[in-house]
Structure 1
Amino acid sequence: MKEEYFKWHSPNLNREIEMLVFGHAGYPVIVFPTSMGSYHENKDMGLIDSAKWYLEQGLI
């Protein structure tokens, strides 16, 4: 499963933004962390593993 890390400075928020991107094709799905969570929270809690088949098939 493809996983990419991105980090950039947001001038609107005036802070560094980090994100993980999974998959290679399909419908884009944006998942935000919970309040005060970090960018890798969804991976750490198993949400990405639960969608692994869909990611590997290029559906999402």
Structure 2
Amino acid sequence: MAEAFKTWQCRTCGYIYEEEFGDPPEGLAPGTRWADIPADWICPLCGTPKSDFDMIEL
């Protein structure tokens, strides 16, 4: 069985990244896993680095 999609939140501004939906305007197709996003990716709203996001449960 496939692993459930996860949700990640920016600690600075609260931007939510949901693996299931991706962020097509940012070039992240639906289904893009957090681990597959480059380490140098930054929050599209505030510029916070990927390392400063937390996995959350909605």
**TM-score, normalising length: structure 1:** 0.29
Larger Cα-atom Rg: 1
| Greater relative contact order structure (CA < 8 Å, 6+ sep) | 2
Which has more strand, going by share of residues? 1
TM-score, structure 2 as length reference = 0.29
